[in-house]
């Protein structure tokens, strides 16, 4: 096990180093030097050797060194619900599988699911997440897991008010907003690693009054406003029926779109709505794989980029992806845009890497701390091996990362200067024991959902 001791330098020597800033720079035979939790040197290996000496040296000659990835949208409770419901549209998927399961969790279940999801995120090279939890229960259990694994996180407190598929998830707006405020007072800025965001789930799940009160709370405390926006065509039908406008039209009219607003998904939008997002300086959180699996469509990422919109990358929940592999999400981002627009240059590997790093940091207001490998920034670092048959030989290391590698190639993850994943394994978690616990937890959740709601999960139709 490798661990950086306080006051001791850690030197990482790699075959390639991609700082992300400046764009377009790749350092062959690069080196990174870390002191405590901060990067102090980025450059060539020989220069680092001439300036620094340390007993803690990580040699990664067949690897690429990149910043810690930012997963700008996920649902940790879904990490134990992978493939619970497949081959359905969004509303049917929620109604038949996800919401009955969620309503059947207890606090211990939330904790186990969050911990399992965090291990998967970290092993994918993700060092910062936006965890969008929702419903009236489980927040303290999720917070416990976030704090224990010490990942950098924003807990986006989701709220369902209207058009809720399951009554157990419905909340009174004032009570939910009061709970958000209590979370803010207790945890916002905790250890400089945990922050609270506000997250009405969809515009069609909220009255105008709730949307505006959430904006007031966001303004009062400087909170991110994180909401599923224009995800599917059915969402827009519901929104038009409730509000008389599409999601983006409504949010723009209410002046909710802003530099603190996260338009999660933002798939089904018009050119005029893209202009609304751009002019308000809102961020788009792109979740390519869940958009495809649920059939929501392909977001116009190329058009967003052309209009100067900051696009960050998310995996979404592991039940609609069905994993937390951010490297895979980068590849899907590029390939879907090129195939859909029939343009091989509309989105590039550089664009995808920025979405997974510095753009995510920018969406969170943390671009001065994370998202690139620069002296003075926090030491969130990922080392990805490039010598497996599905990757090697390497001509272009960025291409190898985005188009060939996957989460299983992540060998080392450093968070705040501490090695948390070594040799592809989390150094502080007994994964086998946790895996066994996850399996038993899921069995209990499925049994409760069957008994309580009379639900028959889709896989039960063809597995005897």
pLDDT digits (tens, 9 = 90+) for 394-453: 999 999 999 999 999 999 999 999 999 999 999 999 999 999 999 999 999 999 999 999
Last residue of a domain, one of 321, 337, 363: 363
Shared domain check, 357 and 387: no
Core vs surface per residue 84-99: b (16+ CB within 10 A) or e: bbeebebeebbbbbbb
Does 434 reside within a domain? no
Residue 13 pLDDT > 60, yes or no?
Answer: yes
Q: How far apart are the first and last CA of the chain?
A: 44
Q: For position 456, what pLDDT does the model report? A: 85
Mean pLDDT across 135-162: 97
Q: For position 3, what pLDDT does the model report? A: 39
Shared domain check, 393 and 310: no
Mean pLDDT across 350-377: 98
Strands 126-134 and 38-44: unpaired
Does 263 reside within a domain? yes
Confidence band of 34 (pLDDT split at 50, 70, 90): very high
Shared domain check, 146 and 13: no
Q: How far apart are CA 395 and CA 401, in angstroms?
A: 11
Q: How far apart are CA 411 and CA 59, in angstroms?
A: 12
pLDDT in tens, 323-362: 999 999 999 999 999 999 999 999 999 999 999 999 999 9
Mean pLDDT across 161-171: 95
pLDDT in tens, 78-121: 999 999 988 888 888 888 899 999 999 999 999 999 999 999 99
Q: What are the Cα distances from residue 228, in Å, to 138, 185, 196, 383, 419?
A: 20, 25, 17, 32, 34
Confidence band of 6 (pLDDT split at 50, 70, 90): very low
Does 438 reside within a domain? no
Q: Which residue, chain included where needed, has tokens 């040197």? A: 41
Shared domain check, 37 and 148: no
Q: How far apart are CA 445 and CA 448, in angstroms?
A: 5
Shared domain check, 163 and 141: yes
Q: For position 381, what pLDDT does the model report? A: 98
Q: For position 288, what pLDDT does the model report? A: 98
Q: What is the CATH number of the domain that holds 102?
A: 3.20.20.140
Residue 4 pLDDT > 50, yes or no?
Answer: no
Q: For position 7, what pLDDT does the model report? A: 55
Q: Is 391 left (phi over 0), alpha (psi -120 to 50) or beta?
A: alpha
Q: For position 1, what pLDDT does the model report? A: 32
How many domains, the chain? 2
Shared domain check, 349 and 359: yes
Mean pLDDT across 369-377: 98
Instruction: Give the bridge partners for 38, in sequence order.
Output: 35, 378
Last residue of a domain, one of 363, 380, 409: 363
Does 416 reside within a domain? yes
Does 314 reside within a domain? yes
Last residue of a domain, one of 363, 384, 418: 363
Does 120 reside within a domain? yes
Q: What is the CATH number of the domain that holds 390?
A: 2.30.40.10
Shared domain check, 143 and 223: yes
Does 336 reside within a domain? yes
Shared domain check, 63 and 163: no
pLDDT in tens, 266-294: 999 999 999 999 999 999 999 999 999 99
Shared domain check, 353 and 397: no
pLDDT in tens, 64-76: 999 999 999 999 9
Residue 418 sits at φ, ψ, to 5 deg, of -115, 135
Does 448 reside within a domain? no
SS3 of the chain: CCCCCCCCEEEEEEEEECCCCCCCCCEEEEEEEEECCEEEEEEEHHHHHHHCCCCEEEEEEEEEEEECEEEEEECHHHHHCCCCCCCCCHHHHHHHHHHHHHCCCCHHHHHHHHHHHHHHHHHCCEEEEEEEEECCCCHHHHHHHHHHHCCEEEEEEEEECCCCCCHHHECCHHHHHHHHHHHHHHHCCECCCEEEEEEECCHHHCCHHHHHHHHHHHHHHCCCEEEEECCCHHHHHHHHHHHCCCHHHHHHHCCCCCCCEEEEECCCCCHHHHHHHHHHCCEEEECHHHHHHCCCCCCCHHHHHHCCCCEEECCCCCCCCCCCCHHHHHHHHHHHHHHHHCCCCCCCHHHHHHHHCHHHHHHCCCCCCCCCCCCCCECCEEEEECCCCCCCCCCCHHHHHHHHCCHHHEEEEEECCEEEEECCEECCCCHHHHHHHHHHHHHHHHHHHHHHHCCCCHHHHCCC
pLDDT in tens, 195-217: 999 999 999 999 999 999 999 99
Shared domain check, 227 and 147: yes
Shared domain check, 140 and 213: yes
Shared domain check, 160 and 101: yes
Q: Which residue, chain included where needed, has tokens 């308000």? A: 280
What burial class does residue 175 get, using C-beta atoms within 10 Å of its C-beta: 0-12 exposed, 13-18 middle, 19+ buried? exposed
Q: How far apart are CA 125 and CA 397, in angstroms?
A: 17
* Residue among 52, 68, 72, 71 nearest 12 (CA): 52
Q: How far apart are CA 423 and CA 90, in angstroms?
A: 37
pTM summary value: 0.96
Task: Note down the domain range covering 34.
Answer: 9-67+372-426
Residue 249 pLDDT > 60, yes or no?
Answer: yes
């Amino acid at each position: 096990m490798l661990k950086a001791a306080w006051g001791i330098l850690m030197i990482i020597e790699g075959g390639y180093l991609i700082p992300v800033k400046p764009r377009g720079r790749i350092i062959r035979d690069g080196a990174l030097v870390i002191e405590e939790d901060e990067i102090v040197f980025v450059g060539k290996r020989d220069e680092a050797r001439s300036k620094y000496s340390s007993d803690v040296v990580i040699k990664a000659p067949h690897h690429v060194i990149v910043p810690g990835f930012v997963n700008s949208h996920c649902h940790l409770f879904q990490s134990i619900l992978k493939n619970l419901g497949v081959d359905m549209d969004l509303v049917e998927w929620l109604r038949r599988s996800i919401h009955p399961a969620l309503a059947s969790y207890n606090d211990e279940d939330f904790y186990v699911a969050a911990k399992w999801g965090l291990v998967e995120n970290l092993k994918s090279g993700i060092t910062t997440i936006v965890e969008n939890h929702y419903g009236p229960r489980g927040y303290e259990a999720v917070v416990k897991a976030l704090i224990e694994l010490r990942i950098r996180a924003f807990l986006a407190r989701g709220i369902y008010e209207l058009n809720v598929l399951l009554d157990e998830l419905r909340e009174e707006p004032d009570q939910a907003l009061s709970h958000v405020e209590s979370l803010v007072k207790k945890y916002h800025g905790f250890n400089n690693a945990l922050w609270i965001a506000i997250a009405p789930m969809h515009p069609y799940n909220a009255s105008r009054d709730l949307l505006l009160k959430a904006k007031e709370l966001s303004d009062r405390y400087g909170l991110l406003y994180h909401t599923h926006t224009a995800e599917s065509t059915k969402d827009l039908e519901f929104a038009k029926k409730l509000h008389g406008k599409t999601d983006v039209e409504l949010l723009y009219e209410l002046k909710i779109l802003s530099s603190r607003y996260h338009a999660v998904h933002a798939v089904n939008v018009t050119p005029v709505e893209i202009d609304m997002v751009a002019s308000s300086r809102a961020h788009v959180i792109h979740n390519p794989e869940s958009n495809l699996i649920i059939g929501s469509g392909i977001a116009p990422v190329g058009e967003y980029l052309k209009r100067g919109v900051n696009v960050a990358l998310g995996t979404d929940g592991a039940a609609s992806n069905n994993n937390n592999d951010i490297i895979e999400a980068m590849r899907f981002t590029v390939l879907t845009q090129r195939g859909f627009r029939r343009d091989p240059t509309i989105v590039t590997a550089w664009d995808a890497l920025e979405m997974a790093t510095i753009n995510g940091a920018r969406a969170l207001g943390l671009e001065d701390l994370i998202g690139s490998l620069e002296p003075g920034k926090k030491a969130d670092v990922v080392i990805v091996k490039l010598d497996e048959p599905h990757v090697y030989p390497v001509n272009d290391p960025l291409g190898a990362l985005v188009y060939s590698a996957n989460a299983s190639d992540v060998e080392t993850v450093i968070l705040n200067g501490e090695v948390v994943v070594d040799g592809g394994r989390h150094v502080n978690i007994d994964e086998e024991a946790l895996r066994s616990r996850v399996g038993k937890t899921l069995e209990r959740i499925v049994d409760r959902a069957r008994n309580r709601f009379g639900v028959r999960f889709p896989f039960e139709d063809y597995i005897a």
